Structure 1
Amino acid sequence: MLGSRIVNWSNVLNVGPFAIKKVFCHHSAVSKGNRKLWKALLLIASGTTVGSASFIGYALYDASLREKLEKLHPQVSGTFAFIENMLPSSIRTMDLKSLKNISLKEPSKPKDIPIEEKVESQPSQKKVLVKASNSEKDNVNKNLEKKILAEVEHLEAAVRDAILAKKEVVAAAEHRSAVLKATMEDQKEFSNSLLPSFSRLENASQKDRDKDARARESINNVRRLLRDSKASVDDAVLSKNKQRLSDLTSELDSLQMEVDKVVTESKILSEYRRIVREGRGRFQDNLKMTFPNIHFDGNLNENELTALLACAFVRLDHLEAELHKATRIEKERIELALERQGEELSQLFDDELQRMRNDLNELKDAEIKQKVAQQKRHYESELSKQLKLQMTVQDELSTKKLDTLRKTLQEKHETELVQKLEEQSFQFQQRIADSLAEIQAIQQALEGI
């Protein structure tokens, strides 16, 4: 009888569809009218078996769910033992902890460049451009330094030529002065040397003017080049070349003063010789007016000497008066010339003093700029160190924040996972309870048939 055969839940869980098939075969003698009921029973049993199997499979991995299930339904403990004996040992030993340790991969995102790489990669092109601009600047500075060196060498050569020319002028002027003195002393052997000495002095003076003009032009070029190169060339190079320029200019000016002195002396001596020659000529003319037959190469007779003596006394009186007048005029002229020369020398001294002050100020400015550049480099170095230190500290703080955020998200994820597992466990418990209730109802219905 069907009522005498009670369907045990543990048997259903142990053998699955085989138990349903056995029950169906055992009651095959039932009338056709009740076959629909058996079909419904078969579908319910199959769905229940599948749901129960999946629920039991989950319970194998969740120890807490298994304990709760065994407390609610002690008869399922045998089913769990039977299934565990059939499963491989690697699967049998898995638990909830192994599920928690499984890393859940987030959806793939575009690969972000790390912060350090961003910081390094973004200004890389700028660094290349800065290096290129620095290289170009260094090349420009080197070209300027070479140009300055070439101009200074050209200046030294021009000054050397000018110095040689000025020394030649000094030698020519001294030689002409010696010849003039000799001719005024009636040394006839020097009379033929007067014109060549004058030609020598004129040629040397013309050559000196040309060489001096070239040297002055070269000095102006070097001074202009140094002034235009202040912002590009190293201060040490500028100071060295400015000092060299000042030395060459001073040497040229001092030698020029010596040239002016000897040339002026030669001109004064030449002018004095001319005055003496003119006086002698006028005296001879006056003698010829008194003595028409006089010969300056022969000897005078007594009457001529007496007349000449009388004329000489008269002439001496006139000459004395003229001499006093000429002395006074010459004194005034000399005083005026000395005053004018003093003004010129004072102006030259003021100009030279102002130039020396300007050179000194430029040297001081160069030293100050050099010190400022050193302080600037030191400040930039310290600032770079501070920035690197701050970036390092900031990177460490960012790393710590990222680690903390990662740990927080991981803990939150694990908490949510545990909550979801508990919710699913509770839902499975409800489903198994409902399934048990349905099976008991079916069992009771079968017992009542």
Structure 2
Amino acid sequence: MSPSLPSAHATTTTTPETSATTLTVDVLGRGGDGLAYDRDGCLTVVPGALPGETVLARLDDLHMAPRRATLLAVESASPERVTPPCPLFARCGGCAVQHLALPAALNWKAATVRQALAQAGFAETCEVSLSQAPAGARRRMDIGVRRTTQGLTLGFHARGGDLLDVRHCLVLAPALDRLLTPLHDLMIRVRGLRRDGDVVVNLLDSGPDILVRTDGALTVDDRALLAAFARAHDIPRIAWAPVDQREPAEIAAQIAPVRHRLAGHAVVPPPGAFLQATADSEAAIRDAVLAMLPPRLAARDEIIELYAGCGTLTFGLAERGRVLAVEGNPDAATCLKQAAGGLRISVLQRDLNRQPLMARELAAKPVVVLDPPRMGAGAQMREIASGAPQRVVYVSCNPQALTKDAALLKAAGYSLAALTIIDQFVWSAEVEAIALFTAPPAKRARRR
């Protein structure tokens, strides 16, 4: 959370014999690092420090703004400090706040979302619901692979940016965690990996679904290796794509059908498809969205769903009314079309960044539901604000993008009516929010 600087404070003393500074930390920054002021009154980032703590730290670069410091010792610990359960915590960039008790982490993330909305102009209070996923439930992993003269590294990026070899991760569901070492041993032998690649694994109902990206083409032997790996580890499908291109993936090995269910409906997600991080969080997001719909929809009413993906929300929405589901990715849109037969769902494949639905197409709608990418809805959000549908249900994975997009709704006269905050990325700085915005009464009246 970006602090309000006048409210942050720190007392600093310099210890000459150690060239260290004592700081009192007031807030957590957006990335989960402690923020304080150093002896010169400059804002200082102290990774590993928590609000209320007095710490001994070394200032690393006096020319940066904000300055950065290395935590040397915690002299007075926060009551919310806990022992990080992972030995890689200080190095791995995947988890930012393993040293913060989970209830406190949820409250911090909730404050981050509330501040994002306040910065957009929504300072009013509203009904807020909070939930948190457990560790060991993540069903998607995106891991980097690098081959050097020293060997092969497979894992997550360290805080400094380099790839860190990881063979065990407490965040992942056990079925994915068990694959880390076998995948490392597999990628050593894949000749199509010259230097850099990555592996995306989704845990579907049918089992792990793997997409391998490499910087070289697969050889015949590589394909045989992938097929043998699939058989040995009960992997229904392994796909491949070039690491530096966005062309559709090709199936390198398949030993069984791929199947998955979204809100009880069978889908066949494309390789590397987007899934919510945990199954429980997916259900919580869907329940929150459905609770924010109008209580009654007429037979002629249509729910507009933007950035629909493979149908994470679509099938639940269709239980409440007719749905126009718009998705830009061709593979995801095709997946949704194939699963939507016989349901009250129309699917439109359309790049909303380049060709947003226009204000006139949204003006008479009772509700627009959108789950945009991390950078937000961009041009599409301007059309929503201009069209002023009665309700806007916004699913956000990025508080900064939420601030930018929600500010357009505030300028159009919308009010914040309800908010759900879900910590589905446990121990990270990421947070999911679902916000209901309602149009001003005058605009709602003109549509009746």
Q: TM-score, normalised by structure 2?
A: 0.16
Higher RCO structure (Cα 8 Å, ≥6 apart): 1
Structure with the higher helix share, 1 or 2: 1
Structure with the higher strand share, 1 or 2: 2
Q: TM-score, normalised by structure 1?
A: 0.16
Q: Work out which of the two has the higher radius of gyration on C-alpha atoms and give 1 or 2.
A: 1
